[in-house]
């Protein structure tokens, strides 16, 4: 481009070698101390990069090796000239359920892990990294479909083994808006890939499992991901199979089953409701009361529709991992079109 605004922009035309390969080329061509990676289907807040880089510049006691922030769902939002101008709750059921998921994960889950310096994942949608450490750790790995998580784990492992004090930080502000899958087919492929990426990462770094040499990383973060992210879908799936067998054989204590079922559903819903409450108390991005009401009503359906679907997608991820499948699968996107018509 002849426009002076883009004089620092470098566009690389290369043979398709996958996402990890493209990111590594970007790392190698960059000329500064830090790198920021963003997915193509994302919109950044105006000051997102500035906020993301703040910990790198202010921390003096420990080296910041990576930084992430809150990612939100952009479906149904009004976007003009590449900027988000009005936030709306997604009209699509699948996207709306993912909005609830993201609120839980980014407002409660990752914020807590960041306080413990236990983050294992910086979202591939938007993350900043120390270039020198990323290169020393080996850059993005071509042999996994979960390259974003694997790089963070490998950078942390490198720092632990080198005995260098470090932190992985988290910016508790909405910095990035991404387009979520709107069909069960595309969502299933995404969760299938996430499962395969988690298994691959856990397998590649199994030496850290309950290994005190890796401090919080080995004694808390890795075991949590192993049991509650990697193994949990298997436990749920085979638990359902056993339950069906018990029903057929007439060995179910129905009073105990109903009581336990109601407890689990109530606990899950209260957790979702608390996450929604924290969203209102902190960012309050969904300002219309009807949006929050829709979100809470949608949460009621999660145990019966969305969660079983996610578990089944994870099981298919296990099967594809056993088959050594490495492809992402087609991830069709609708793109950020004109704002939705007023109702």
C-beta separation of 30 from 23 below 8 A: no
| Confidence check: pLDDT of 47 > 50 | yes
Model pTM score = 0.92
pLDDT band for 343, please (50, 70, 90 cuts).
very low
201-230 in b/e form (b: 16+ CB < 10 A) is bbebbeebeebeebeebbbbbbeebbeebb
Q: What are phi and psi of 167, to 5 degrees?
A: -145, 150
DSSP assignment, residue 40?
A: T
Residue (of 336, 343, 260, 268) closest to 85 by Cα position: 336
Please state the rounded mean pLDDT for residues 2-25: 90
pLDDT in tens, 162-214: 999 999 999 988 889 999 999 999 999 999 999 999 999 999 999 999 999 99
Q: What angle do CA 179, 180, 183 make, to 5 degrees?
A: 130
Residue (of 129, 122, 176, 170) closest to 150 by Cα position: 122
pLDDT in tens, 210-228: 999 999 999 999 999 999 9
Please report the pLDDT score of residue 6 as a whole number.
Answer: 85
Q: Would you state the structure tokens that stand for residue 194, as one six-digit string? A: 């996430």
147-162 and 184-204 helices cross at what angle (nearest 10)?
A: 20
Please report the pLDDT score of residue 23 as a whole number.
Answer: 96
Please report the pLDDT score of residue 283 as a whole number.
Answer: 86
| Confidence check: pLDDT of 141 > 80 | yes
254-282 and 93-103 helices cross at what angle (nearest 10)?
A: 80
Please report the pLDDT score of residue 1 as a whole number.
Answer: 66
Q: What angle do CA 102, 104, 108 make, to 5 degrees?
A: 120
Please report the pLDDT score of residue 304 as a whole number.
Answer: 95
| Rounded Cα gap, residues 30 and 65, in angstroms | 17
Please report the pLDDT score of residue 341 as a whole number.
Answer: 53
| Rounded Cα gap, residues 77 and 299, in angstroms | 20
pLDDT in tens, 269-297: 999 999 999 998 888 888 888 999 999 99
Please state the rounded mean pLDDT for residues 57-78: 94
| Confidence check: pLDDT of 335 > 90 | no
pLDDT band for 69, please (50, 70, 90 cuts).
very high
Report the mean per-residue pLDDT for the chain.
93
Give percent helix, percent strand, percent coil of the chain, each to the nearest 5: 55, 15, 30
Q: Tell me which H or E stretch contains 222.
A: helix 222-224
Concatenated DSSP letters of 156-217: HHHHHHHT--EEEEEEEEEEEEEPPP-SHHHHHHHHHHHHHHHHHHHHHTGGGTT-GGGHHI
Please report the pLDDT score of residue 48 as a whole number.
Answer: 94
Please report the pLDDT score of residue 338 as a whole number.
Answer: 56
pLDDT in tens, 249-266: 999 999 999 999 999 999
Please report the pLDDT score of residue 272 as a whole number.
Answer: 95
pLDDT in tens, 84-140: 999 999 999 999 999 999 999 998 899 999 999 999 999 999 999 999 999 999 999
């Amino acid at each position: 481009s002849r426009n002076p605004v883009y004089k620092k922009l470098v566009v690389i035309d290369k043979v398709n070698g996958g996402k990890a390969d493209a990111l590594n080329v970007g790392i190698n061509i960059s000329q500064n101390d830090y790198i920021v990676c963003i997915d193509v289907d994302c919109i950044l807040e105006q000051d997102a990069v500035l906020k993301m880089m703040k910990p790198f510049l202010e921390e003096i006691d420990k080296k910041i090796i990576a930084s992430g922030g809150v990612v939100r769902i952009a479906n149904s939002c009004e976007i003009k000239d590449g900027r988000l101008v009005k936030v709306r709750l997604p009209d699509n059921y699948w996207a709306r359920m993912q909005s609830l998921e993201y609120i839980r994960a980014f407002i409660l889950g990752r914020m807590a892990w960041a306080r413990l310096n236990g983050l294992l994942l910086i979202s591939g949608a938007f993350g900043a990294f120390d270039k020198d450490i990323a290169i020393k750790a080996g850059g993005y790995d071509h042999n996994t479909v979960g390259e974003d998580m694997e790089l963070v784990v490998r950078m942390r492992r490198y720092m632990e083994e080198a005995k260098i004090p470090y932190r992985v930080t988290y910016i508790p502000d909405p910095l990035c808006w991404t387009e979520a899958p709107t069909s069960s087919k595309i969502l299933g492929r995404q969760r299938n890939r996430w499962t395969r990426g988690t298994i691959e990462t856990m397998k590649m770094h199994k030496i850290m499992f309950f290994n005190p040499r890796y401090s919080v990383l080995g004694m808390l973060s890795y075991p949590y991901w192993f049991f509650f992210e990697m193994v949990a879908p298997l436990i749920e799936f085979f638990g359902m199979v056993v339950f069906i067998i018990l029903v057929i054989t007439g060995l179910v204590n129905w009073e105990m089953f109903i009581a336990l079922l109601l407890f689990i559903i109530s606990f899950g819903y209260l957790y979702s409701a608390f996450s929604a409450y924290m969203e209102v108390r902190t960012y309050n991005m969904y300002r219309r009361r009807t949006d929050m009401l829709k979100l809470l009503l949608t949460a009621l359906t999660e145990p019966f529709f969305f969660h079983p679907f996610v578990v089944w997608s994870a099981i298919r991820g296990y099967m594809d991992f056993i088959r050594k499948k490495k492809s992402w699968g087609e991830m069709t996107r609708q793109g950020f079109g004109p704002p939705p018509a007023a109702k």
